[in-house]
Amino acid sequence: MNANQTKLLKKIDQAKVFLTHNRNLFKCPYCGAKMTAIEDYSLICAQGHRFDLSKKGTLFLIKHGVKSDYDQKELWQARRHVLQHGLFDEVLEQIIQRMPQRNLTYIDVGCGEGTPLAQIRKQRRQFNDQAIGFDISKDAISLATQQTANSFFCIADLAALPFANRQIDVIIDILSPSSYREFDRVLAQNGILFKVIPNAKYLIELRHRLYRPEDPKYSYQNDDVLNRVIEQYPQTEVVPVKYQFDLTPELATDLLKMTPLQWGTQADPANVFKTSLEYVTVDMSLLIVRKIL
């Protein structure tokens, strides 16, 4: 079955096709056994644990109940709107330029509603990539399945990735937490980790409207995060990415809805729009780690 034929199938059937060809990428989140069979619309491990595809073609690959502060449909809709208008475009371009020019298997850690992964797939349409996005938020994954780019989505736990050892060529981690032990386990030989962290000026215009100067959240430093990565991976390459993102009133409203910055107890959302917020600074570091065995 070719790619065009696959696109004509229902989401659940598209996912079944993907799993039929790629079950070796996964391991059981309960017992760690290999996934050995596809039965009807279920993925089954060697010990008999069964994982059923949802109607939207997703898998629940986590061994505990899920409760996330990010399970807010309005948040994910707002994030999609802002990202599709370009908030992360320049950092995504930096990642795409550095991805190997061959067919790859990659995962998007904390993929949210799927826009970054969809943009990467579209820019790499000449390759037969296997792309997987996962998040702990059910609402995010439900929305991600609406993306037109052909990717597979699942609900999974970062601390216990449901992927087999050394099967992933590229890990993409944009402003999400990390589990370096798990990353090391799943990355293939010569695999690459792209981790994006915020710098001091990231969304500083919004931050300064939400908080007073005496509040600790008025400023931000990423030294601890950066030092942890470099300590874990001394070979890390650091690429600064900084640009201005212009806002319309609608984009400014959605930016506020999507960002955890507003969750601080001393945040003052009412102050954000006392005057128009016409742009924000996107200030990030792209950390590139090439696995050396």
Query: CA 252, 253, 257, 258 torsion: positive or negative?
Result: negative
Mean pLDDT of 43-47: 97
45 appears as a binding residue in the annotation:
yes
Instruction: Give the model's confidence band at 150: pLDDT under 50 very low, under 70 low, under 90 confident, else very high.
Output: confident
Average pLDDT rounded to a whole number, residues 217-236 = 92
The pLDDT of 254-277, averaged and rounded, is 93
Q: Which amino acid is at 134?
A: F
User: Torsion over CA of 184, 101, 128 and 239, rounded to 10 degrees?
Assistant: 50
CA–CA dist 160, 282 (Å, integer): 31
Average of pLDDT values for 208-236? 93
**By the 8 A CB rule, do 202 and 283 touch?**
yes
Confidence of residue 230 (pLDDT cuts 50, 70, 90): very high
Report, as an integer, the average pLDDT of 92-106: 98
Inform me whether the pLDDT recorded for 177 exceeds 60: yes
Query: 219 pLDDT exceeds 90?
Result: yes
CA-nearest of 196, 178, 186, 159 to 291 is 186
Which CA distances in Å does 19 have to 94, 116, 150? 30, 22, 13
**Looking at 53-57, 61-65, 199-203, which range is the least confident one?**
61-65
pLDDT > 80? residue 19: yes
- Which 8-state DSSP code applies to residue 159? G
113 known member of a binding site: yes
Q: Residue 263: what residue type?
A: W
Angle at 34 (CA atoms; ends 33, 37), nearest 5 degrees: 125
Distance CA 101, CA 118 (A): 18
Separation between Cα atoms, residue 283 and residue 219, nearest integer Å: 13
CATH 3.40.50.150 matches 64-290: yes
pLDDT digits (tens, 9 = 90+) for 59-80: 999 987 777 677 789 999 999 9
> Which residues have C-beta within 8 Å of that of residue 156, sequence separation ≥ 6?
29, 61, 62, 134, 135, 136, 162
Has residue 189 got a pLDDT over 80?
yes
Extract the tokens encoding 208: 């300064």
Q: What is the pTM of this model?
A: 0.94
- Look at residue 63 in the predicted model and tell me its pLDDT: 84
In this structure, the number of other CB atoms found within 10 A of the CB of residue 35 comes to 22
User: What's the whole-number mean pLDDT along residues 274-290?
Assistant: 97
88 labeled binding residue: yes
Q: Per-residue pLDDT for 6 more than 90?
A: no
pLDDT on residue 72: 84
Question: In which band, very low, low, confident or very high, does the pLDDT at 132 lie, cut at 50, 70 and 90?
Answer: very high
Q: How far apart are CA 112 and CA 79, in angstroms?
A: 9
> Tokens 């998040």, residue?
135
pLDDT reading at 203 higher than 60: yes
114 is in an annotated binding site: yes
pLDDT score, position 293: 64
Domain parsing of the chain, residue ranges: 1-57, 64-290
Summary mean pLDDT of the chain? 94
Q: pLDDT at position 278, please?
A: 97
pLDDT at 3 over 60: no
Question: Which residues make Cβ contacts (< 8 Å) with residue 214, sequence separation at least 6?
Answer: none
